[in-house]
Structure formats: structure tokens, C-alpha cells
Structure 1
Amino acid sequence: METLANLESFVRSAETGSFSAAARLLALTPAAVSRNVAMLERNLGVRLFQRSTRKLSLTEAGERLLASIGGNLQALQSAISAVSSDRSEPAGVLKVSLAPTFGIGHVLPLLPGFLALYPLIRPEWHFENRQVDLIAEGYDAAIGGGLELTPGVISRTLAAADIVAVASPAYMAGRALPDSPEHLDRFDGIVMRGSRTGRIRQWVMQDGAGNEAQANISENIVLNDPAAMREAAILGLGVTLLVLPDVAANIERGELVRLLPDWYANAGPISLYYPSRTLMPAKTRVFIDFVVEAFQR
């Protein structure tokens, strides 16, 4: 009878197309995953993968085995997880990707309370402006906006991401306030160039009555990070468009003023993303529950 380790190594390698990616998911070395799969092939007497230097691909026999295992492996994993979670405290490295500005401003302050409840968890948090591949890169979770929902990844909404126009009081001193997003081009603009597209991000704003208007921002300063854009606005370098949660505290402190208070652009939600594996480590489960509850409050 095959061991659970051999079957897990086969299924995760098939799902990710890589022994290395499967190893990150299973907390093993790539060599150990490769040995487990080789042992399974030897015991079954068939080749399950075609191997190349770049990727793995299932053979016909491998495809049949993967289809046959189906949810049976997940059911077995769930049973084992349920039993072990009853007697063990959440522990281990918690690898999370976070959008820098939102993560530092709103998620990092939750960490002391989280670690007070779960002292055996060791956070490994990556603050980065990029779209990560949760499964292939071995992340337990990610927090940000617009992550592509690839197969095996689900999301929970944490907050709305309304884009608003802001500038410093010093910059606006002596200047007439704009009365429409189309008139933002009267000011120096601080804009963002997307790292994936290489293009300047454009926004269409709307008001409470449902009217829409293009936000015309001059491209006087081009940056690639929202935190840098916020600091540039605080320094009085011009007008910029940023997510409201990222500038709410600055507005409250009087460092920035919101222009066009009735207008905003919808950037979609800020969400918590995680692999939808039936067998979810206790460390990931308690992190998800803790963060979702905190943002609900």
C-alpha cells in the first residue's frame, strides 16, 4: 500500500508542474519529493511524469492516476489534519505576501496581537508590489488587490479600495479647488507606472449620483510605489490619486486634504488570498480567521 507521502508528492507535483513547487507546499526538499514520486512509479511499475529540465508533464498513466485519486487524498488529509489539530498548537513559518503600503499601515499593526495568541508561529512576510503565484512560490496567503484567481486560489474581501484625489495643504494654498476630475490637469500630477503593464494607470471617477468623469492627472512626476506617491504629495509636489485606506490617517492628521470629496474611482476590493487546499495548516487557518475578524471589526 502506498504511503501518504508518496501520493501527496505525486498530486502536488502534478498540480504545480514542478518538484520544487511541490516541495515548498509540502515543506520538503525537491530531492525528497522526487524520491517519493520515483518510489511510487517503481511500486506501480509505470512512469507517471515526463521529465524535462523546464517542467513536468503527466503521462497518460499519470493522468489516470490523478483522476482516480480525486478527492480521496483530500479526504484522507482532512481526517489526519482534524485529528492532529485537536492536539497541536498552530506553529511554523507563515509566509505571506502583502501590498507594502496597505500591509505596513493596516496589517502589520495586527501582528503583536496575533503572536500573543499564537507564539509558535514565525511570520515571514514579504512586502512587495507584484502579483505572486501563491501555490508555485509556496505562500500561505497574500493580501492586496487584483490578484489573479488561478485554479486552487480563493479570496476573502477585507476592505473597499476607493481611489481618491489628495494633495498637501501647502500645495493647495492659493490655488482654486477643482470642481471636476477633468480639471485635475490644472495641477502638478504625481502618477504611477504599473510594473506589469509599463503604462501610466488611468482612472475614471464617479460621484454619488452615478456621474462619471475621466481623472485627468498631469504626468509631472512618475513613480512606481503608492507609498512614494503619498510621501511626494505630503512634500507638496502635486496632486495624486491613491487608495483611501492608504491616506486616511494622513488626511486625519492634516498632512493631506481630499480634493473632490464626492468623487472616487473603484479599484476593486482589497482581499485576502489563500490556496483552497482541503488540508489547510493550522497556522494558515488561524491567520485567515484573525485577519478577517479584525477587518470586520
Structure 2
Amino acid sequence: MSQPSDMAAFVRIVETGGLAPAARDLGLTPSAMSKQLARLEARLGVRLLTRTTRRISLTPEGETYLARARDILLLIEAAEQDVTAGRGRPGGLLRVNTGTAFARHRLIPLLPAFFERYPAVTLDLSVTDRRVDLVAEQADVLLRTGPLGDSSLIARKIAEGGRVICAAPAYLERRGRPATPDGLLSHDCLVLRGLSRLTAWPFRTATGLQTLTVRGVATTDSAEALRDMALAGLGIIRVSAFIVARDISEGRLVPLFEELHVSEDVPVWAVTAPGRHRLPRVQAFVDFLARHAAEW
């Protein structure tokens, strides 16, 4: 086996949590995988992993080697993709992670056009509303809305939208339509759990910006579930406009305080790890989304 193969085997062992699952992923036997790891450690003269019958853990040297190994493997893959891209269109497996609402309302409707343009690309789409570790999830691209924290990752803004406050006609008939923003304090306002900034709804008033901290009968960790709750008549929501645009246009939800509500900008980011952003399939995917953002 070559040095890059030993390096790739080590990274896969760490990512899958053991020799046996890594061997299955790479089409090898656990014995062959163990030999690759032993050869790598012998060549380096250090132990990279501490192994017990139940788990493996990285040594300090292993942690250092893992970070550099991932970078090197990405550069090798990018170099090979750059060379082969000249023979045809971008190809290979593209791993994308995004939230439920963005996947349903923005990404999935675009996929037929993407595959028509790039037929050599295959997609592994992971959909979750929890925060994920891009490296641990082995994703090529994370698609996220809203502000990003400080990070060494590479983020490209591909679109920008706003937020809207709305409720179902059935809810407004039952509870009445709030006449002023202050009236929201006596209504059921449904919010995303764990995001305190989204419980503070901003409005323009004669005396300046007013922020109301709202509450209601239910919270959720899913923007798509929040939309479903509003459609069921449970309360008033404030979400990214793209999530409810069709519901509003077809009358299933009614916008509130359009003139007074400060909608705020909601950026959409494509986040990649350093090195991986140069892969042709990743570049093609991110560029494709950015080109179609104007249609959103």
C-alpha cells in the first residue's frame, strides 16, 4: 500500500470509530486495516491511536497527524479532480448537509436542473436542523441560513432574503388579528427552540425600534415544523420568507405587520472546509446555487 493509502485508512478509522467499520467502508478485511495502521505508526515512530476492546482514541500525536492528513487527502483529491475535469464535466460523489426547510423549499426543486447539467455528479444529501460538524459529518458543503459564528471554514454567501410574520386565517378568526405589535404579547407566538434571538421580534415605531419578546403554546427545533404548526392554526410565526412564500400567495397563511415589521436580512451560506472548496464538483454546485438565487 502507498503512503496516501495508509493515511486514508487512518483517517477512515477515526471517522468511523473503529477498524471493522473502516474496513467495510474501504472494502478491506479488519486484519488488512490493522496492518496498514501498524505500518503507518511504525514508519512515523509514534502511536497514533490508543485501542481498547470497546473504543479507540487519538493520542496527542494522532490528533496532530489527523488534521494534517485530512488537508493532504483533500489536496490530492482536488489535484486529481483538476486534472480529470479537463476531460469532461465535474463528477463524483457530492455530500451536502442542509436544514429541512431549505432542502424542501429551495434545494430539492433545483436538483433536476443540476443533474441535467452535471450528470456525472451523484448526491448524498443529509437533512437536519441541528448544528453539525462539517468535518465529522464528512460533508463537502453545508448550506445554512442566518448568521455564522467565527470559523476557519470557508463561507460563501449565495443568497439573501428576509423574514415574515404570519398566521393561518383560522387562527386569526379564533383569536382576532392583533392591531398593534404590542398585541402580539397576548397571542400565541410560536418560535424555534434554542435560538433566543428569534424570540425577539423587531418593529418600527414612532419612537424608534421596538423589540418584543414573544411566547406561545409550543416551540420546536424545526423551521418546517413551525410552518406546519402555523398552518394548523396553533399560532403566529416569524420565519424566513421563502419557507411560507407559497402558503401566503395561496392564502393558507396571512402576513401581519408588513409595514412595521423589521424583516432583517437572512443570508444563505455555502460552507466548505479549506481545500475542499476547490473540488470541481463542489465549485460547480455552489456556483449553480448562486446563479439560481435570483429566482428565489
Structure 2 length-normalised TM: 0.76
- Equivalence map 1:145-224=2 (5 Å): 145=145, 153-160=153-160, 162-173=162-173, 175-180=176-181, 182-194=182-194, 201-207=198-204, 211-224=208-221
Q: CA RMSD in A?
A: 4.0
Percent identity reads: 23
Q: Does 2:81 correspond to 1:81?
A: yes
- Equivalence map 1:1-297=2 (5 Å): 3-7=3-7, 18-20=14-16, 28=26, 35-44=35-44, 46-47=45-46, 49-52=48-51, 53-59=55-61, 78-145=78-145, 153-160=153-160, 162-173=162-173, 175-180=176-181, 182-194=182-194, 201-207=198-204, 211-261=208-258, 262-264=260-262, 266=264, 268-277=266-275, 280-296=278-294
Ranges in structure 1 where 5+ consecutive residues have no aligned partner? none
- SS of corresponding position for 1:249: helix
* Deviation, structure 1 residue 5: 3.1
| Paired positions, count | 284
Distance 1:170 1:3 in 2: 65
Q: Structure 1 pair 171/88, CA: closer, same or farther in 2 (3 Å)?
A: same
Distance 1:103 1:65 in 2: 31
Q: Structure 1 pair 117/77, CA: closer, same or farther in 2 (3 Å)?
A: closer
Q: Any idea what the Cα deviations from partners look like across 1:116-140, whole Å, max 9, x if unmatched?
A: 1122322221221111111111112
Distance 1:216 1:94 in 2: 41
Ranges in structure 2 where 5+ consecutive residues have no aligned partner? none
Q: Which shifted more, 116-125 or 127-136?
A: 116-125
Structure 1 length-normalised TM: 0.75
Distance 1:150 1:35 in 2: 40
* Deviation, structure 1 residue 224: 3.4
- SS of corresponding position for 1:292: helix
* Deviation, structure 1 residue 110: 0.4
Distance 2:145 2:277 in 1: 25
Q: Structure 1 pair 128/77, CA: closer, same or farther in 2 (3 Å)?
A: closer
Amino acid aligned to 1:178 = A
Distance 2:173 2:113 in 1: 42
- SS of corresponding position for 1:215: strand
Q: Structure 1 pair 279/81, CA: closer, same or farther in 2 (3 Å)?
A: farther
* Deviation, structure 1 residue 273: 1.6
* Deviation, structure 1 residue 268: 4.7
Q: Structure 1 pair 251/210, CA: closer, same or farther in 2 (3 Å)?
A: farther
Q: Any idea what the Cα deviations from partners look like across 1:184-226, whole Å, max 9, x if unmatched?
A: 12323333323xx7x7952241449993323343422333322
